[in-house]
Amino acid sequence: MFVNSMKINGIIHMKKILTLMLIMLTLKSFSQTRPSVVQSVDLKRYTGVWYEIARLPNPFEKNLKCVTATYTLRDDGKITVLNKGHKISDPEVVNSSKGVAWVPDKKVPAKLKVQFFWPFSGNYWIIHLDKDYRYVLVGDPSFKYLWILSREKVMDEATYKMLLDKAISEGFDVKPIIKVEQDCK
């Protein structure tokens, strides 16, 4: 009787473990498909200077304004990334970081990886891209990072709201979003 009881408890315990593993796999699968991304990206057209219009708070851009990202296509197909931002307290001080981005899966060109120091890399997913490459919504599957970028220093309110609505529909919490000042020369 005691042996049968142990077997039954073991089976129940195993079922609980299997159920938990199934839930974890489902959540992992869900997090890798959301947010959705654009179907295609022409990296040549994507290169150039982008002005940061808004972002979710993150530690590496804390207290920065006039933030830009400059993307340069390399001969090997990767992209050199140069991020710059001016300190809010002293705009003469510029922080910059240089990295590299690449497309790990050519079938999904809007899911890039970006690396600023080896061996760590992050996700750079293009969620929405204007057909004329004038503005873009970029995020990641953890929903911790989100950027609204533009080719111009200023964005009209209707476009800004449309991109915020898109972010919300993809699962981002935009309540803490920071509008970035672009008043530097």
Q: Tokens 């929903």 belong to which residue?
A: 143
- Ordered by start, the domain boundaries in the chain are 1-33, 43-179
Task: Give the tokens for residue 134.
Answer: 């004038």
The full length of the chain comes to 185
Confidence (pTM): 0.82
Q: Are 146 and 172 in contact (CB under 8 A)?
A: yes
Q: Are 71 and 80 in contact (CB under 8 A)?
A: yes
CA–CA separation, 141 and 123 (whole Å): 7
Measured between alpha carbons, how far apart are the two ends of the chain, in Å?
A: 82
CATH topology of domain 43-179: Lipocalin (2.40.128)
CA–CA separation, 48 and 46 (whole Å): 7
Per-residue pLDDT of the chain (185 residues; tens, 9 = 90+): 545 554 554 444 444 443 434 444 444 444 455 799 999 999 999 999 999 999 999 999 999 999 999 999 999 999 999 999 999 999 999 999 999 999 999 999 999 999 998 889 999 999 999 999 999 999 999 999 999 999 999 999 999 999 999 999 999 999 999 999 999 98
